[in-house]
Structure 1
């Protein structure tokens, strides 16, 4: 789908007006953040990926896993040295 649009101006801002069909093709809606890239004179717009949100339970589960790994690492470092380890 090829569209021709002009930049519009309001106060000190410049913007492009897009038809709803274009937003639908992008999987975007009003308020969606877009990543804009200019590649060899071509403007490429992609919906920005939402930041991953974690629940407190997920964060605490990861903390438990990290604590277990730290215990393993401590035991490994406290072990007897083997040939020429420094």
Structure 2
């Protein structure tokens, strides 16, 4: 289970990637990220931030789809793939 600090970092990244359209404090851990308005451009920005901040790359489309299911799944993906 991912810790709260990691989840908060991810929420901040998502909020920034959506241009602030989704405030970080309004993102629930289990809500679908695509339901929050994370489009392909925002997702690309999130992927780049994951690489920069955590050294985590999403190179497989299926893994990416699964990771972007929710904050919980994204946090679990980051924890499992950190360098």
TM-score normalised according to structure 1 size: 0.27
Larger radius of gyration: 1
| Structure (1/2) with the larger helix percentage | 2
Between 1 and 2, higher relative CO (CA 8 Å, sep ≥ 6) is seen in 2
TM-score normalised according to structure 2 size: 0.27
| Structure (1/2) with the larger strand percentage | 1
